[in-house]
Amino acid sequence: MIKLADVSYVRLGTRDLEGATHFATEYLGLDVAERAKGSVYFKSDEREHTLCYFEGDPGDQVVCFEVEEQFHLDEAAAQLESLGHPVRRGTASEAALRKVHDFIAFRDPTGNPIELTWRPAYSGRRYHGARDAGITGFSHVGLCSSDLARDEAFWTKVTNAQVSDRIGDAPLLRIDEVHHTIALFPSVKPGIQHINHQVETGDDIMRSHQFLKDRQVRMVFGPGRHPTSSAKFLYFEGPDGMVFEYSSGVREIADELLWRERQFMFEPKGFCKWGAKPNIAEFNK
Ligand SMILES: O=C(O)c1cccc(O)c1O
Ligand SMILES: [Fe+2]
């Protein structure tokens, strides 16, 4: 079993690095950690970076999880290979680009590129966004799934992920006390379905709603409140159609023995208890 300790970062290809950087800093509220040749790294919390935009194909979308020990990478590689998932060891220069000591890369059953990393860099420099969005950190990803039951089985059998709740057949998966760090949503193509940052308060959600709407950023869902995690939320569209979510007040499951996964309906009220309707393909039948 592969123990995922945390979600580390996402890497997104883009044909317009300047435009993506403008969005990430002026709208989303991230902090530039480093500008390199052909890529820009962004901070959202105590880590050296949690998002990297690089010049490339917008279809290239990678999510990376941290493991605790280097030998976990070897164990994970052996297990993934035995299950028929080809694994690639990152080279030293690729590791340097990711600011990690070591990593492996593979694809989940849908074909989503996944990396596992050991010793990703943390930073002594405090995160402070140019725009005060109230971000407290990068928190979870939605992944596209072409077969929810198969992919739920993959994540829960091969890694330490556990189902916290389901919306229809879409599982919200936790790897620690946070209600979910990975969520799977139905889709015909692979990719990152959404990227979540936590913000401090519900006021931050409403303030960003006004701020982004005033600047013609496309709102796709909310403001609302998830019945599952109980977090208040806002979803909007970023570069290359990527959906970004802010949420505040995500549930923590402190005592796993007392928690039972719940079934919500795959319809707007399963996603929002305030009555907001998603304008997001993967949240609609
Ligand atoms: O926070 C949640 O519970 C949630 C539910 C549905 C979809 C999401 O993106 C979520 O973050
Ligand atoms: Fe989410």
Question: 271, 273, 284: which to mutate for ligand 1, most atoms within 8 A of CB?
Answer: 271
If we measure between CA atoms, which residue out of 259, 261, 263, 262 comes closest to residue 168?
Answer: 263
Residue 95 CA to ligand 1 center (angstroms) comes to 31
d(CA 152, CA 230): 22
Quote the mean pLDDT of the chain: 97
β-strands 135-145, 192-199 pairing: antiparallel
- Contacts from 150-155 at CB under 8 Å and sequence distance 24+? 150/109, 151/108, 151/109, 151/110, 151/184, 152/184, 154/108, 154/109, 155/108, 155/182, 155/184
- Write the residue with the smallest CA distance to atom 9 of ligand 1: 142
Q: What is the pLDDT of residue 203?
A: 98
User: Is 275 in contact with 59 (CB distance < 8 Å)?
Assistant: no
- Which residues contact ligand 1 via a Cβ below 6 A? 142, 167, 172, 183, 194, 196, 226, 228-229, 231, 245, 247, 250, 271
pLDDT tens digits, one per residue of 245-258: 999 999 999 999 99
d(CA 21, CA 122): 21
Q: What ipTM describes this predicted complex? A: 0.99
Q: What is the pLDDT of residue 139?
A: 98
pLDDT exceeds cutoff 90 at 285 = no
pTM for this predicted structure: 0.98
Strand order in the sheet with 51-55: 31-36, 39-43, 51-55, 6-14, 61-67, 113-118, 102-107, 88-89
